[in-house]
Structure formats: C-alpha cells, structure tokens
Amino acid sequence: MKRVYVDEKWCLGCHLCEYYCAFANSGKSSMIKALKDRTIHPRIRIEGDNQVSFAVSCRHCTDPLCVKSCIAGALSKKDGVVCIDQNKCVGCHTCVLVCPYGALMPSESGVMQKCELCIENAGGKPACVQGCPNKAIIFEERD
C-alpha cells in the first residue's frame, strides 16, 4: 500500500510540511484561521541541523509496536493505516515509550495524535506531500 517516504537529500528544512499538516488536521477552512498566531501541533516533524534535515511521521509499520502496546486499545490498524481513536486514548504515553521513530506525540488536548495519511481529510494525498516544495516527501508504494 502507499505510504509516506522521505528523502533527506531533497529536504530544505523549510518546515512547510508541518504547517500543511497542522492545517489539514485543524478542521478549519482557511490556513490563516488555522495557523496564524497559534502554536502548531503537526503530526510530522522536521529533524536536523544546518546540513541535514528530514521529516519524520508515522511509518505505518507492518508490525506496529504502538498498536500492540496501547493500554487503552485506542490504536489499531485499518487497511494498512495505523489509526488512533482519540476518544479512547487517555494520554498515558505508552506509544511514545515504544515507537522507534518518535512519531507519536500529544495533541493540544493532551491525548495522543499521529499521522493517519490524511485519510480523514485532504482526500487522496497527504497534505505534507502536497505541500513539500522540493518533493522530499513522497506518497507511493514501495517494497
């Protein structure tokens, strides 16, 4: 199935993916309303220094440790996508304890959030991929 892949060779470290992600998941109709003067809580995060940078988001692992470890049964895998039911999550951080990528983090409300490939919004293509100006984030099938 299609997943998000990143190539640090092309990443400019511009953080636009973070903004597009925060906007796509805000439920707001305009980017200004969603982001202006607000601390954003994106589900994709840029890591790096002046020389190297890259975006990190959920890898949707074939054998996801977070799903196996969730104490609330809030994480599950649906059609290959690791999803979180924020209504069930109590914010215990066990998923943070086990995710080898550091790809889950608390949302504004304190329960956890993660990349769900924009299946609930943006339609078809993850917003970070659409917003990346240098094609450093790609959505495709790979082995």
Partner 1 sequence: MAKYVIIGNSTAAIGCVEGIRSKDKDGEIVLIASENHHTYARPLISYLLQGKTDEERMKYRPDSFYEENHVTAKLGETVTKLDSEKKTVTLKSGEEISYEKLLVATGSTPFVPPMEGLDTVPEKFTFMSLDDAHALESVLTKDSRVLIIGAGLIGLKCAEGIKERVKSITVVDLADRVLPSILDETGSAIVKDFLEKQGIEFHLGDTAAKFAGTTATLKSGLTVDFDVLVIAVGVRPNTSLVKDAGGEVRRGIAADDTGKTTLPDVYAAGDCAESFDISAGVNRVLALLPNAYMQGNTAGINMAGGKASFDRAIPMNAIGFMGLHIITAGTYDGETYVRRDGENYKILFYKDDVLKGYILIGDVARAGIYTALIRNRTPLSSIDFKLICEKPQLMAFTARTRRDLLSKQQ
Pick one of 28, 33, 47, 134: the residue that binds partner 1 (CB under 8 A). Answer: 47
Pick one of 30, 69, 109, 134: the residue that binds partner 1 (CB under 8 A). Answer: 69
Q: Which is nearer to partner 1, 8 or 34 (CB)?
A: 8
Contact between residue 102 and residue 56 where contact means Cβ atoms under 8 Å apart: yes
Pick one of 14, 31, 92, 119: the residue that binds partner 1 (CB under 8 A). Answer: 92
Q: Which is nearer to partner 1, 10 or 31 (CB)?
A: 10
CA 81-87-89 angle, to 5 degrees, is: 75
Of the candidates 111, 108, 104, the residue with the CA atom closest to the CA atom of residue 60: 104
Q: Is 104 exposed, middle or buried (0-12, 13-18, 19+ CB in 10 A)?
A: buried
* Cα–Cα distance for residue pair 45/43, rounded to 1 Å: 7
Q: Is 83 in the site for partner 1 (CB under 8 A)?
A: no
Pick one of 17, 43, 60, 126: the residue that binds partner 1 (CB under 8 A). Answer: 60
| Least distance to partner 1, CB of residue 9, Å | 9
